[in-house]
Structure 1
Amino acid sequence: MGDREESVYQAKLAEQAERYDEMVESMKKVAGMEVELTVEERNLLSVAYKNVIGARRASWRIISSIEQKEESKGGEDKLKMIREYRQTVENELKSICNDILDVLEKYLIPASTSGESKVFYYKMKGDYHRYLAEFATGNDRKEAAENSLVAYKAASDIAMMELPPTHPIRLGLALNFSVFYYEILNSPDRACRLAKAAFDDAIAELDTLSEESYKDSTLIMQLLRDNLTLWTSDMQGDGEEQTKEALQDVEDENP
């Protein structure tokens, strides 16, 4: 077994054992070989980082919610502890995001040749800058939001040219880009327009949907529709439900 195959197998073992930090390290080794990743390798890398960042994003939301409740009570001693703890989680989030953004910039984007892989990586770049924007403030938030917007736009330009409207990666991009407009730029109208256009374009070409991507594509279309329903009711002044995004970058149906 060569170095590449060994690292991929280690990543699969780590995934089965739910040891995602080690899964990240194994896939970083593969990315650092400066080769174009296969679809399987690309998805392993995506799943690894998504789990590592997902756990911290969930922690941050919980701690922030506790902080808000404590602020309304005015408990200064507890607030100091909560804020320090939140800062610890934010430092971890920052470190993980900067890590994958560095890997994307140095290795993955330069090595990608197909339209599909370019869209996948630019979308990923947009996602991780968006995660930075979720907790950043002031100029840091502004910079993260701008970087996210540029990456999502680059992904969209390529997707419009090279991927059909029913392609799961194009749909996943539209889903996450619309969440970015809604949550980061506070622009529900643009979020709704983007999500609706992606949904309508896919519906119009449903007959072109390939059998292998049918499940992924229809799931994301459902999420787009769910968000549209939620955002529309939110704009009319009710509903505080959680917005849905692609929880895993599409095509990660690993055996």
Structure 2
Amino acid sequence: MTPSRAELLLVAELAAEAERYDDVISQIKAIADQYDGRLFNDERNLLSIAYKNKTNTLRNSWRVVDTLEKMQASRASAGITTRQLLLIRQQRKKIERELANVCKDIVKLLEKQLLPNANQGEERVFYSKMKGDYYRYLAEFAHEIEREWYAEESLSAYKFAYRHAMSTLESVHPTRLGLALNFAVFYHDVRRSPDRACHLAKNAFDDAVKSFDSDFSDHNMSQTIRDSLQILQLLKDDLVLWSKEIQ
């Protein structure tokens, strides 16, 4: 018997609690297949969390192994054995393949099902931001021509999302602010341009601050406002760091 949407979601929620993110993804994909790529907010958020956790683990592993490889390479250049270097390099490439597969999987889902069926406004911004994020992750460890292609795809997705956010979402909306934060990170980490990163982050920060009603306290703040304030703090922290780099 084909499980209902509620049953698929229940299993996905259980899998998320158990940190079985492959199971989360398979359940939400089943919902997308059955309902023409249309996900409710809770389904969409579970999907986002699952892919984020999978990629974060792999990205952290890659950074550790990449650092160790560089350290070992400097020793090898001084005449120390290259055997360990070879083993480390093999492990780094294995992690890259796994990470690439995960990123390409969510990009394919976004391009084939989720984005074509997304509503105008927040949903389309959310999915376009995701597309930019995962192409950015691919660009972080790819090489030469491939890296540039992934970077261009990421830039295109972020630009589309940002234009759409500017015309459909308020400046304090957490999805718009989260997009601005990640887009700025793209300019800093991938394009190596702290100037452009600061410019984008500062504009988003200033626009949001101007729109906030200063007359609210903790007890009457909605969760949306709390989310926005958290992202604003991240934008502020990055602005401080990047400004120091420019100086």
1:76 is aligned to 2:49: no
Greater relative contact order (Cα < 8 A, sep 6+): 1
TM-score (norm: length of structure 1): 0.89
Q: How does 1:1-255 map to 2 (within 5 A)?
A: 2-33=3-34, 34-74=36-76, 75-207=81-213, 211-236=222-247
SS at match of 2:116: helix
CA distance, structure 1, for counterparts of residue 170 and residue 58 of structure 2:
34
Q: Is the 8 A contact 2:194 2:245 kept in 1?
A: no
TM-score (norm: length of structure 2): 0.92
**Number of matched residues?**
236
Instruction: Give the superposition deviation at 1:30.
Output: 1.6
Question: What value does the CA root-mean-square deviation take over the aligned residues?
Answer: 1.5
Shift >3 Å, 4+ stretches: none
| 1:96 counterpart letter in structure 2 | V
| 1:234 counterpart letter in structure 2 | E
SS at match of 1:207: coil
CA distance, structure 1, for counterparts of residue 105 and residue 47 of structure 2:
12
| 1:129 counterpart letter in structure 2 | Y
Instruction: Give the superposition deviation at 1:234.
Output: 2.1
Q: Is the 8 A contact 1:31 1:103 kept in 2?
A: no
SS at match of 1:94: helix
| 2:245 counterpart letter in structure 1 | D
Larger Rg computed on CA atoms: 2
Instruction: Give the superposition deviation at 1:2.
Output: 4.5
Which range moves more in the overlay, 58-67 or 201-210? 201-210
Instruction: Give the superposition deviation at 1:36.
Output: 1.9
